[in-house]
Amino acid sequence: MVSTDQFRQEIKSRLELAGAQGRQDLTIECGELYRSVSKLPVFDPWMIFCRNAMRAEMAKTDRLVFDDSKASLLTIHYALPRNQSPAPISN
């Protein structure tokens, strides 16, 4: 099982890399993030941890691109540079 913290670390790593590349934004899709970190199918019941991590990393400047009742359809457009730190969450 992959924890929310593991997903958050991957998101932070991607945001840091995108920022270092001088990008203005980064879009992350829940299903892709989940597959890359967990190596499990997107219908796995543990996807809620991925979704929670994505939402926890959102700042006021970020926006939800698409959200549906299925966690695998969550997509978030993160603005760069990161000026606000999201609040820590616990599992």
Segment 58-82 shows an average pLDDT of: 83
pLDDT at 91 exceeding the cut of 60: no
| pLDDT value, residue 63 | 94
* 36 vs 89: which has the higher pLDDT: 36
Work out the average pLDDT over 27-32. 93
Task: For residue 32, give Cα distances in angstroms to 10, 38, 64.
Answer: 12, 10, 16
Q: Is 55 exposed, middle or buried (0-12, 13-18, 19+ CB in 10 A)?
A: middle
pTM: 0.83
Residue 43 binned pLDDT confidence (cut-offs 50, 70, 90): confident
Assess whether pLDDT exceeds 60 at residue 37. Answer: yes
pLDDT (0 to 100) of residue 24: 96
